[in-house]
């Protein structure tokens, strides 16, 4: 009996917690996210490109750098006008480049 | 003569037999619990953080338009931007935002110029900051005595803290400072007619991509258009990359589990004389297999249960900070995560199977091997 109780109590506690509280845990964060019109979640510290991806340079690195990450290539699908500036193509070609 | 023990007597025998090797039993329980904890944590971590991120970002603006030049971001002239966007079909609720990153004693923080309309639901509990005032996120408040915050941007401002944002909203506001729009402009070097960017909503998410292409044509200056879909993809990839390091933990855990299973098999073979003895006393093969099954159940059920509970508590306890500290690069006061419980038991089930199937297979296979042997040979094998 005690054995079964010991096995079942953690499972029952988890189930009760999930039913009572679990699905609303991030409700408060959602309200503030909307009220402040934010674009990104505070997973990463402010000032990092992970926190503010929209501030990443919207260019495509044309220099070869094997083995190094190229966030602009992997994560950006910028749309805008084409500008060339010291080795970077800035902006997009109105949807013609879609990696 | 067949002895034939009843279930209750068999349970008792199994418990006493485990009690004879109490150290080994406790160690086995701890190892199985630790494995359950590690594998559940790894399976749930990325999933829970990704779910929370997606849920919050569903409320982000559908499209963000930033003015850019070859030198990077540029302030957006509000009137010109609103005039350009006027008449673009599908662009709902266009509005400008004033926000940016500035320095503080706690490191870089995100400054947001409060918009009275959007802030309205909180006005009863939190005052809209006046010039010289600030609402600060939980990461800025190390003690209740914080009364001022000094921010350094295009200019330096000393702001009076009128309230701290709630810790439960930490995933949105941890290092955010909400100030009056005039203070935000001063910090970010914006003129009164300028904003940081322009955002808008859409009626249906499928409109976001075509609208982004349309928007690229209507502004008189080069713009960078970031859609919510892109931002979500980016956030998901970052979360996956950051939490994927947890996989490293499961590799030694899996190796430990393989070694444990092998050790269990070897231990069962060494104890073959006990099976021989019981057979000589009249135990049937079924009795012996039941005994081993009960012993395995006595150890593994609480190990799984407590392992799951420990993983659940570590992940879903309100305000856990270890996730941000370990995986998301926070060096100071890390944000307290409040993660929603979604599909937890769907993760626990495969983990339970991954651990229990090899465990039971080893125990029962070793027992079956013993059952098939002659009792005399087993006893002669000796302890």
Residue keyed to tokens 């505070």: A42
Mean pLDDT on B68-74? 82
C-alpha B272/C-alpha B371 separation (Å) is 9
Mutate to test the interface with A, among B55, B184, B201, B341 (most CBs of A within 10 A): B341
C-alpha angle with apex B332: B134 to B181, nearest 5 degrees? 20
Which of B60, B168, B170 is the closest to A39 by Cβ?
Answer: B60
Residues in chain B with CB shorter than 8 Å from the CB of A93 are none
Q: Is A73 on the interface with B (CB under 8 A)?
A: no
Query: Is B205 strand, coil or helix?
Result: helix
Range with the lowest mean pLDDT among A56-60, B127-131, B190-194? Answer: A56-60
Residue B369 class from Cβ within 10 Å (0-12 exposed, 13-18 middle, 19+ buried)?
middle
Mutate to test the interface with A, among B14, B126, B169, B242 (most CBs of A within 10 A): B169
CB atoms within 10 A of CB B269: 12
Tell whether the model's pLDDT for residue B264 goes beyond 50. Answer: yes
* More confident position, B208 or B312: B312
Residues in chain A with CB shorter than 8 Å from the CB of B172 are 29-30, 32-33, 36, 38, 41-42
Which of A39, A80, A90 is the closest to B225 by Cβ?
Answer: A80
Residues in chain B with CB shorter than 8 Å from the CB of A40 are 57, 60, 231, 235
Predicted confidence band of residue B180 (pLDDT cuts 50, 70, 90)? very high
Residues in chain A with CB shorter than 8 Å from the CB of B339 are 25-26
Secondary-structure breakdown of chain A: helix, strand, coil percentages, each rounded to the nearest 5: 40, 10, 50
Pairing of β B63-69 and β B72-73: antiparallel
**Where do runs of H (alpha helix) occur along chain B?**
7-20, 22-57, 78-85, 116-119, 170-173, 181-188, 208-218, 228-243, 246-270, 272-280, 285-316, 322-327, 344-372, 375-381
Question: If DSSP states are collapsed to H, E and C, what string results for B42-110?
Answer: HHHHHHHHHHHHHHHHCCCCCEEEEEEECCEECCEEHHHHHHHHCCCCCCEEEEEECEEEEEECCEEEE
Predicted confidence band of residue A82 (pLDDT cuts 50, 70, 90)? very low
Tell whether the model's pLDDT for residue B46 goes beyond 50. Answer: yes
CB atoms within 10 A of CB B116: 9
Residues in chain B with CB shorter than 8 Å from the CB of A78 are 224-226
Residue keyed to tokens 């990839």: B237
Range with the lowest mean pLDDT among B51-60, B233-242, B255-264? Answer: B255-264
Which of B73, B197, B329 is the closest to A44 by Cβ?
Answer: B329
State residue B111's pLDDT score.
Answer: 93
Range with the lowest mean pLDDT among B66-70, B75-79, B174-178? Answer: B66-70
Residue-wise over B323-360: b if at least 16 C-beta within 10 A, else e? bbeebbebeebbbbbbbbbbebeebbeebbebbbeebe
Residues in chain A with CB shorter than 8 Å from the CB of B222 are 80-81, 83, 90-91
Q: Is A59 on the interface with B (CB under 8 A)?
A: no
Mutate to test the interface with A, among B8, B67, B172, B214 (most CBs of A within 10 A): B172
pTM of the model: 0.80
């Amino acid at each position: 009996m005690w054995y079964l109780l010991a096995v079942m109590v953690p499972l029952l506690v988890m189930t009760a917690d999930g039913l009572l509280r679990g699905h609303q845990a991030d409700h408060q964060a959602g309200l503030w996210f909307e009220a402040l019109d934010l674009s990104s979640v505070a997973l990463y510290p402010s000032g990092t490109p992970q926190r503010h991806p929209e501030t990443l340079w919207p260019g495509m690195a044309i220099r070869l750098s094997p083995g190094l990450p190229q966030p602009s290539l992997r994560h950006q699908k910028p749309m805008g006008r084409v500008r060339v500036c010291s080795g970077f193509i800035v902006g997009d070609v109105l949807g013609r480049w879609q990696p | 003569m067949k002895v034939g023990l009843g279930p209750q007597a068999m349970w008792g025998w199994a418990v006493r037999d485990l009690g004879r090797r109490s150290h080994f039993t406790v160690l086995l329980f701890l190892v199985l619990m630790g494995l359950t904890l590690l594998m559940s944590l790894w399976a749930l971590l990325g999933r829970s953080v990704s779910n929370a991120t997606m849920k919050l970002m569903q409320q982000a603006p559908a499209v963000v338009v930033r003015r850019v030049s070859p030198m990077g971001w540029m302030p957006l002239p509000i009137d010109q931007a609103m005039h350009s966007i006027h008449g673009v079909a599908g662009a709902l609720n266009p509005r400008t935002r004033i926000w940016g990153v500035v320095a503080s004693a706690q490191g870089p923080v995100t400054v947001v110029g409060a918009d009275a309309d959007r802030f309205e639901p909180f006005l009863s509990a939190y005052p809209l900051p006046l010039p010289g005032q600030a609402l600060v996120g939980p990461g800025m408040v190390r003690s209740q005595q914080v009364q001022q915050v000094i921010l350094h941007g295009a200019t330096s401002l000393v702001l009076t803290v009128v309230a701290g944002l709630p810790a439960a909203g930490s995933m949105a506001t941890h290092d955010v400072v909400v100030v009056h729009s005039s203070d935000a402009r001063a910090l970010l070097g914006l003129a009164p007619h300028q904003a940081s960017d322009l955002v808008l909503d859409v009626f249906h998410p499928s409109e976001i991509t075509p609208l982004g292409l349309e928007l690229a044509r209507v502004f008189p200056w080069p713009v960078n258009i970031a859609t919510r879909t892109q931002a979500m993809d980016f956030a998901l990839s970052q979360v996956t990359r950051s939490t994927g390091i947890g996989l490293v933990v499961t590799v030694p855990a899996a190796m430990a589990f393989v070694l444990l299973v092998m050790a269990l098999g070897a231990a069962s073979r060494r104890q073959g004389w006990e099976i021989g003895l019981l057979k000589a006393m009249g135990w049937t093969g079924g009795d012996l297999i039941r005994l081993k099954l009960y012993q395995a159940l006595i150890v593994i059920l609480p190990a799984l249960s407590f392992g799951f509970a420990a993983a659940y508590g570590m992940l879903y306890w309100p305000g856990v900070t270890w996730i941000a500290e370990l995986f998301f690069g926070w060096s100071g006061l890390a944000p307290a995560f409040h993660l929603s419980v979604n599909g937890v038991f769907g993760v626990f089930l495969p983990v339970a199977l991954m651990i229990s199937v090899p465990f039971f297979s080893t125990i029962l296979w070793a027992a079956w091997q013993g059952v098939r042997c002659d009792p005399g040979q087993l006893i002669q094998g000796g302890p």
